[in-house]
Chain A
Amino acid sequence: MTGREAFLDRLRTRLAVPAPENLPHPLVPVEGVPAVAYNLDLDDPVAAFERAATAAGATVRRGGLADAGDIVAEVLATVGARTAVVAGDLDVDITLPAGVEALPFDSPVQCERADLGITGAAYGIAATGSLVLHAGAAGGRTASLLPPVHLAFLRTERLLRDAGELFRRLGERFPGGLPSQLVLVTGPSRSADIELEVTVGVHGPRQLWIGVLT
């Protein structure tokens, strides 16, 4: 017998007799999986996204497609970045100013060298202010992770109301199967491991900028 068969056979044997019912606190059958009802104003998803992302510690800029360059310039100036990796399939037009070195995104090593990572976002989630990124896009796993600052551009038509709109329709959103990694990013990297005091940037980006473009 293989390891798998032996392992699962043992479970089947154990489960042949169902666990006894808990009389004082019995299980209550629930039909289906209820949707999460948010106590949030989600009527204007862009505003809701901005509120939630800002509350999570991200810096949000809103504008049209033509404003992308200005947003990049603001981020570069604010953080004093000298090097940047730019995801190849970004659908907004970015030209890095002179003096900022564009690193080719071909490995984590390049991302590790960069002061700034610029990526797109597959989706945004209004209720939580989250970005949905994945390994199948040209930012890969690391352009949004290794540089100390991450700038993501999110198109408003990619904005979903809540996580349920993503998770309940994954098949339709990724008809070719899930990319090897799919990640929800909400705010900058944070830790509260020292006396519960929140600090940012312990591993991932210290700063998260989001350009929400209409």
Chain B
Amino acid sequence: MSTLRERARIAVANDELQVALERATDRFATQKVAGASTVANYEELREAARWVRAGVLARLPDVLGELADKLESRGVHVHWASDGADANAYILDVAQQCGAKVVVKSKSMASEEIHLNDTLGAAGIEAVETDLGEWIIQLARETPSHIILPAIHKTRKDIAAVLNQVAGGDLSDVPAELCAFARQQLRAKFMQAEVGISGVNFGVAETGSVVIITNEGNGRLVTSVPRTHIAVMGMERVLQTWEQFELMLALLPRAATGQQITTYVNALSGPRRPGEVDGPDEMHLVILDNGRSDILGTEFQEILHCIRCGACLNVCPVYRQIGGHGYGAVYSGPVGAVLTPLLSAAEEAGELQNASTLCGACWQACPVKIPLQDLLLGLRRKKAEEATSFSGERLAWQAWGTAWSKPGAYRATTGVAGAAAKVVPESWVPVRWREGRMAPRPRGTSFRHWMGGEGSGT
């Protein structure tokens, strides 16, 4: 796999991508301000949301137990998946029991994480992504570049080209026309599919419900038309009460897109009940661990507070330059830079803690106030602790620490003892600095020398 630098080089040289990223991040910044302004106590709500999420995690086994009990009492099958393979096997089994040839999916980052489509495809089941952006990405054989806007890196021309693979070249690049084509194509899939698979924005334990929040309505179709509905939920995406849900619902759309509320907020509490005309006959909930429990009880636990709004991506100056694919992982942006190394041991993932300047914009945008910059820093410490005692960087910091904890050595290395400020020789400046930036040129005398002479006194 490529390195962060290799991916970054490609991203910053891609002019179309840069235009798309700038447009998206600028637009989001304006919309978010507008969204937050419709609520008088936005900051109070963020603080409360952080506390609520912490409380839920502290009681997670009880909350999940209550959710499962209530759902089971309404006839829902609950499956506890310790990892992705377990979840995929269960979902495949259910789909096969239903005799499914076509499965329709609404957006689910958890199913991206476990590569569910590959499992279904290998078994000869066509898994169709129905979120417009996800469908485009699926047809283009790419991966999402944003948590809520998967095709944000593509221009309308790119998208028209992708959809014309299906349409046979008849489509213009007018978004309304592309959407109408998607509606017609995907509606046929909805009517045909035996199984609908969705993600979950929030489980609510109090009543045994799962809530799906969408604008397009595909989340409603997936859960209403096929005979069987399977919901896939990361185990942390749960709340105890509807009161807590009201709080999250006030924050999530505002943080995500600046909307006061999304078009659809769809709460599902089981399969069709007696007397109801439509809806699935069977409902399943897959609760996914897949490495999340390893994060509990650690200094990184707060990353499990995340409600997947994408706000941290939209404000991140690094995301703004490299886009979602620059992170080389399912989850991108600051949340991805924290989550990916924690959920995966891959060497490349372990590099993502450096995909940040620790500027803290993510923390200030986060609707549940996750101090993402602290978590990134924690990951850097973890990485440094794992470094062997012969690592070049470790030895360099040791030497630095020894020198700069002694005034004499500090003065010698900074050159502050001399009368004139030391002009750093060009060759001392790292090439990686010099290629893009001129070396600093100090003016005048050294500061400490000045303090001892001209600037002496008080």
Contacts and interface: CB of A to CB of B under 8 A. Distances in A.
Find out whether A and B make contact in their complex, taking CB atoms under 8 A apart as touching. yes
B45 A184 contact: no
A106 interface: yes
Closest 4 CB pairs of A and B: A204-B217, A193-B133, A19-B301, A14-B296
Given A189-B215, A194-B151, A112 B191 contact: yes
B329 interface: no
A66 interface: no
A105 B38 CA distance: 39
B82 A180 contact: no
A75 to B, nearest CB: 19
B263 A185 contact: yes
A137 to B, nearest CB: 9
Given A7-B80, A194-B151, A203 B51 contact: no
Given A36-B250, A181-B223, A11 B293 contact: yes
A41 to B, nearest CB: 11
B43 to A, nearest CB: 11
Contacts of A27: 50-51, 54
B23 interface: yes
B263 A24 contact: no
Interface stretch (B4-12, B60-68, B393-401): B60-68
Contacts of B262: 186
A180 B74 contact: yes
Interface in B240-278: 241-247, 249-250, 257, 260-273, 275-278
A149 B136 CA distance: 25
Nearest to B36: A39
11 contacts: A4-B78, A8-B61, A10-B289, A11-B296, A30-B51, A36-B247, A135-B276, A138-B277, A181-B223, A191-B133, A193-B151
Contacts of A25: 363, 369, 371, 374
B41 A36 contact: yes
Interface stretch (B92-100, B174-182, B430-438): B174-182
Contacts of B68: 4
Interface residues of A, number: 82
Contact of A11 (B60, B150, B191, B216): B60
A174 B98 CA distance: 32
A203 B221 contact: yes
A130 B246 CA distance: 14
A143 to B, nearest CB: 8
B18 interface: no
Given A34-B45, A36-B45, A136-B275, 7 more contacts: A3-B82, A17-B297, A33-B246, A164-B243, A190-B215, A193-B150, A194-B132
B41 A37 contact: yes
B458 to A, nearest CB: 34
A98 interface: no
B159, B275, B297, most chain A CB atoms within 10 A: B297
B403 interface: no
B65 A8 contact: yes
Interface in B22-39: 23-24, 27, 37-39
B194 interface: no
A145 B216 contact: no
A33 B244 contact: yes
Given A141-B220, A178-B207, A194-B132, A7 B273 contact: no
B416 interface: no
Nearest to B149: A193
Interface in A122-177: 127-128, 130, 135-136, 138, 140-142, 145-146, 163-164, 167-168, 170, 177
B146 to A, nearest CB: 10
Contacts of B57: 15
A208 to B, nearest CB: 9
Nearest to B51: A30
Interface in B286-315: 287, 289, 293-294, 296-299, 301-302
A163 B246 contact: yes
Given A33-B52, A178-B269, A194-B175, A141 B257 contact: no
A26 to B, nearest CB: 10
Interface in A60-109: 105-109
B61 A170 contact: no
Contacts of A136: 273, 275-276
A194 B209 contact: no
A182 B273 CA distance: 13
B97 to A, nearest CB: 18
Given A10-B293, A170-B207, A196 B264 contact: no
Interface string B120-136: 00000000001111001
Contacts of B294: 14
B170 interface: no
A187 interface: yes
B110 to A, nearest CB: 15
Contacts of B298: 19-20
Given A30-B47, A190-B215, A141 B61 contact: no
